[in-house]
Amino acid sequence: MSSREECVSIDLEGRSYNIVVGEGSLHAATTFEGLPSAHAALIVSNTTIAPLYAATLRSAIKSRFPVVHEVLLPDGEAYKNWETLQLIFDALLSNACDRKTVLFALGGGVVGDMTGFAAASYMRGVPFVQVPTTLLAQVDSSVGGKTAINHPQGKNMIGAFYQPRLVVCDLATLDSLPLRELSAGLAEVIKYGPIADVDFLDWLESSIEDLMARDRAALAHAVRRSCEIKAWVVSQDEKETGLRAILNFGHTFGHAIEAGMGYGVWLHGEGVAAGMVMAAELSRRLGLVDAAFVERLTALIARAGLPTKGPVLDAADNAGRYLELMRIDKKSEGGEIRFVLIDGPGKAVVRAAPDALVREVIDACCG
């Protein structure tokens, strides 16, 4: 590991792995030293990212894998589905890849989630590595082993828990990220403050402009601290039987926005941003936080260039449409929606809320 790299470990007994956070890590063969050896690797990427970074990754791993195949997926959340997943299986089978083949997910959360799901199911499981190239993927989706595709009726509804062998976050890849995508990633960074770490929330308030300006030191701290918090949560509750659900702060409303608008219209992070404001406001109306906390969080989200209000999904009955979509959420139990709420800054709880109150929040927070 070079001096400009740091390593966060995720402790999962036989499935522990490292998250490397560095600058230029993608160039170094040493980054990939601990991986199992195999005859072949498959780089899974998309048509936007591969021209930027696939040659670099290929060069870094070529000494470990005599044959490196590549498959490029269409770019976008709208393609996170069965048809696109099939392209990965087609590439594996047409190249006669065996069960030792290592998959590399080179891209954002969409490529990562689909590659992980393909790795979980090809020959009942092959090793895979996450090489996240968006801020969102570096701070969240590449870590923790959630893999999935969308269903037209619900976000991430079909998938598996399947851990990568290594996560490589090269901060240099964030230089080419469009600003809107950087902001979307900041939504997932911000979420860690209210749910788990008030000091981090304070730091974000003093550093948000540096992050928006892609200051490398600020980004390094944000990625490392986010990964530390996520690793701490996932190590205690890998399969989301309890604690891990707090990582979905803002996501119940956010997933409804994504599905209701049509996948790809609102970015995932944008839905989460507006969703966090709604969840904070619901927390306030339930007496868990005060108005000052909601204002504080809303202001930070706005400074990160993110929406603080949700869209209107149905002009006739907007709240009804949100409720209908939110009932398909994975946290729902027996049709009852369960929300991640803030129970004082730095502490999250998961609980149901009366429909009437949720309707009031949606009416107040959309438009």
Task: Out of 248, 270, 284, 296, pick the active-site residue.
Answer: 248
- Check residue 134 for interaction with ligand NAD (CB under 6 A): yes
- Check residue 229 for interaction with ligand GLY (CB under 6 A): no
Closest to ligand NAD by CB, 101 vs 226, is: 226
Q: Which does 248 bind (CB under 5 to 8 A by kind): ligand GLY, ligand NAD, none?
A: ligand GLY
83 is catalytic: no
Out of 247, 272, 304, 341, the only residue in the binding site for ligand GLY (CB under 6 A) is 247
**Residue among 52, 238, 251, 245 at smallest CA distance from 134:** 52
**Residue among 201, 328, 187 at smallest CA distance from 270:** 187
Nearest distance in Å: CB 247, ligand GLY: 4
Q: Which does 244 bind (CB under 5 to 8 A by kind): ligand GLY, ligand NAD, none?
A: ligand GLY
Q: Which stretch binds ligand GLY (CB under 6 A): 93-101, 140-148, 155-163, 266-274?
A: 140-148
188 is catalytic: yes
Q: Which stretch binds ligand GLY (CB under 6 A): 61-69, 210-218, 244-252, 342-350?
A: 244-252
- Check residue 187 for interaction with ligand NAD (CB under 6 A): no
Out of 22, 127, 144, 154, the only residue in the binding site for ligand NAD (CB under 6 A) is 144
Nearest distance in Å: CB 305, ligand NAD: 14
Task: Please name every residue paired with 167 in a beta bridge, in sequence order, or none if there are none.
Answer: 19, 130
Give the x/- contact pattern for ligand NAD in 262-301, rule: CB under 6 A.
Answer: ------xx--------------------------------
Out of 84, 101, 133, 226, the only residue in the binding site for ligand NAD (CB under 6 A) is 133
Nearest distance in Å: CB 180, ligand NAD: 9
b/e map of 288-310 (b: 16 or more CB within 10 Å)?
A: bbeeebbebbbebbebbbbbbeb
Q: Which chain residues interact with ligand NAD by CB under 6 A?
A: 46, 48-49, 52, 75, 77, 80, 107-111, 113, 133-134, 136-137, 140-141, 144, 146, 156, 173, 176-177, 181, 184, 268-269
Known catalytic residues? 124, 146, 188, 230, 240, 244, 248, 251, 255, 268
| Residues binding ligand GLY (CB under 6 A) | 140, 144, 146, 244, 247-248
